[in-house]
């Protein structure tokens, strides 16, 4: 019975992963829940521990205290990831905090079900080198767009592929004129029209920063140049991504916007196990719409391409500055439009350097966050 660890089990991806595992269990597909982790949400983790009965539960953001039955600290999380009875690690952590456990899981030969896109955005060169080593693990993407491409590419060679097409819902401000974006509040930005997600990714979707991060992630996952990664706005979120072949044909992956589907595929692939998820009714959908991104109105997307093309430490700085900016926006310290403009200014001030190891990544991240505080105050 494959052993599973869920990193960030109290978050959106983690909660849905537990739902998927329970649904699979009722259908006779047994998985052993070895461990779950959270940062500081003891109450929710306690309830999950009682309901799903993992062998271990880890709180990384708290010191050891009087509550029994838990492990504490970052080291406990890393030890959990590399246990011999763990086969699959679902990384649902938020931000650059997910990079180190991703590296640990792959180094230990685990199957990494990756929802933490920042692992590849910030540590792409490190992970790429690690995957080239004998005995390393494998990555199965959980993001709906990358899961779609991962499945579409099965049976095709690199020479068959003209480009990858990532679809974007456009977020809650798809039709909002730029002059009105000055008044966008965190409450409005958190209201995604299609997906139910955590706070940070919801803001990233509103700025299209999330799609920029996904472009960089796709580059590392599929070994495709940035010139061959397209973004298309598709507000219905029915087509999760497409692959454009050299002969002009387009392969599309369609489905309801439900993250439990790519989570389940990451656990059961290459098999498609029956689930209790909605079945797409194209007659009810009726019409699918597409448009080019509003590049000038959502400059975060172009910044992502720039960061990826410049390479070295620039994607780390891009990501770190954005993480700091999202926090500042949610705290009311900067405006919605200042998220992308501040990130762009920090990138312009950065002199990229090679990412030789994890410490180099963390140094670039620290520089970006310190620079942000200098700029914003």
Assess whether 322 and 198 both reside in one domain: yes
Q: Does 271 fall in a domain?
A: no
Q: Does 270 fall in a domain?
A: no
Query: Measured in whole angstroms, how far is the alpha carbon of residue 201 from the centre of its chain?
Result: 8
Assess whether 27 and 53 both reside in one domain: yes
pLDDT in tens, 162-185: 999 999 999 999 999 999 999 999
Strand order from edge to edge, sheet including 56-59: 71-72, 56-59, 32-38, 3-7, 88-91, 111-114, 138-141
Name the band, by pLDDT with cuts 50, 70 and 90, for residue 140: very high
Q: Does 14 fall in a domain?
A: yes
- State residue 139's pLDDT score: 98
Q: Does 262 fall in a domain?
A: no
Task: Please give the mean pLDDT across all residues of the chain.
Answer: 95
Phi first, then psi: give them for residue 8, nearest 5 degrees: 80, 45
- State residue 195's pLDDT score: 64
Assess whether 104 and 131 both reside in one domain: yes
Lowest mean pLDDT segment, chosen from 143-157, 179-193, 283-297: 179-193
Q: How far apart are CA 193 and CA 206, in angstroms?
A: 10
pLDDT in tens, 21-43: 999 999 999 999 999 999 999 99
Taking the CA atoms of the chain, what radius of gyration do you get in angstroms? 20
Q: How far apart are CA 220 and CA 210, in angstroms?
A: 16
Name the band, by pLDDT with cuts 50, 70 and 90, for residue 2: very high
CA-based angle 374:202:363, to the nearest 5? 35
Assess whether 192 and 304 both reside in one domain: yes
344 pLDDT above the threshold of 70: yes
pTM: 0.94
Assess whether 100 and 130 both reside in one domain: yes
63 pLDDT above the threshold of 90: no
CATH code at position 186: 1.10.1740.10
Assess whether 106 and 186 both reside in one domain: no
- State residue 122's pLDDT score: 98
- State residue 196's pLDDT score: 62
Assess whether 319 and 376 both reside in one domain: yes
pLDDT in tens, 242-265: 999 999 999 999 999 999 999 999
- State residue 66's pLDDT score: 57
Evaluate the omega torsion of the peptide bond into residue 339 and state whether it is cis, within 30 degrees of 0: no
Q: What is the mean pLDDT of residues 90-105?
A: 96
- State residue 197's pLDDT score: 67
Q: Is 69 left (phi over 0), alpha (psi -120 to 50) or beta?
A: left
pLDDT in tens, 268-310: 999 999 877 778 999 999 999 999 999 999 999 999 999 999 9
pLDDT in tens, 347-365: 999 999 999 999 999 999 9
Query: What's the number of domains the chain is made of?
Result: 3
Assess whether 158 and 249 both reside in one domain: yes
Assess whether 250 and 321 both reside in one domain: no
Tokens 């029956």: give the residue: 274
Read off the tokens for 121.
Answer: 């955005």
Assess whether 90 and 195 both reside in one domain: no
Contact between 195 and 257 (Cβ < 8 Å): yes
DSSP 278: P
Assess whether 12 and 108 both reside in one domain: yes
Assess whether 152 and 124 both reside in one domain: no
What does 138-179 look like in DSSP terms, one character per residue? EEEE-SHHHHHHHHHTTT--GGGEEEEEEEE---TTTT--GG
CA-based angle 343:213:21, to the nearest 5? 135
Domain that holds residue 52: 3-141
What does 8-49 look like in DSSP terms, one character per residue? TTTSHHHHHHHHHHHHHHHTT---EEEEEEESS-HHHHHHHH
Q: Are strands 239-245 and 161-168 parallel, antiparallel or unpaired?
A: antiparallel
| CA distance readout (Å), 194 to 53, 256, 266 | 32, 10, 22
Q: Does 110 fall in a domain?
A: yes
Name the band, by pLDDT with cuts 50, 70 and 90, for residue 191: confident
What does 190-231 look like in DSSP terms, one character per residue? T--SS----HHHHHHHHHTHHHHHHHHHHHHHHT--GGGEEE
Name the band, by pLDDT with cuts 50, 70 and 90, for residue 109: very high
157 pLDDT above the threshold of 70: yes
């Amino acid at each position: 019975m494959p052993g599973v660890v869920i990193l960030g089990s109290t978050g959106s991806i983690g909660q849905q992963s537990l739902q998927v595992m329970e649904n699979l269990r009722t259908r006779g597909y047994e998985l052993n829940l070895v461990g779950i982790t959270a940062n500081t949400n003891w109450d929710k983790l306690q309830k999950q521990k009682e309901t799903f009965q993992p062998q271990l539960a880890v709180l990384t953001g708290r010191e050891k205290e009087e509550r029994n039955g838990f492990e504490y600290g970052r080291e406990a999380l890393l030890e959990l990831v590399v246990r011999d009875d763990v086969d699959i690690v679902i990384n649902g952590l938020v931000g650059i905090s997910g990079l180190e456990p991703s590296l640990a899981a792959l180094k230990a030969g685990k199957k990494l079900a990756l929802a933490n896109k920042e692992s590849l955005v910030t540590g792409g060169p490190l992970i790429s080198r690690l995957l080239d080593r004998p005995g390393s693990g494998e990555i199965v993407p959980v993001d709906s767009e990358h899961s779609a491409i991962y499945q579409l590419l099965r049976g095709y060679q690199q020479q068959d592929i003209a480009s990858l097409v990532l679809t974007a819902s456009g977020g809650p401000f798809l039709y909002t004129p730029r002059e009105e974006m000055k008044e966008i509040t965190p409450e409005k930005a958190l209201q995604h029209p299609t997906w139910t997600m955590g706070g940070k990714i919801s803001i990233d979707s509103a700025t299209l920063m999330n799609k920029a991060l996904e472009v960089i992630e796709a580059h590392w996952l599929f070994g495709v140049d940035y010139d061959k990664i397209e973004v298309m706005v598709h507000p219905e979120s029915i087509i999760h991504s497409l692959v454009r072949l050299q002969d002009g044909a387009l392969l599309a992956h369609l489905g309801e916007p439900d993250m439990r589907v790519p989570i389940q595929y990451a656990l059961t692939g290459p098999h498609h196990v029956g689930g209790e998820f909605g079945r797409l009714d194209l007659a009810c959908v009726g019409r699918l719409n597409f448009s080019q991104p509003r590049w000038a109105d959502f400059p975060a997307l172009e910044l992502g391409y720039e960061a990826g093309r410049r390479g070295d430490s620039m994607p780390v700085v891009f990501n770190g500055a954005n993480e700091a900016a999202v926090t500042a926006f949610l705290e009311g310290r900067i405006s919605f439009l200042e998220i992308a403009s501040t990130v762009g200014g920090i990138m312009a001030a950065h002199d990229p350097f090679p990412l030789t190891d994890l410490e180099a990544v963390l140094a670039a991240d620290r520089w970006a966050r310190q620079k942000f505080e200098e700029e914003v105050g």
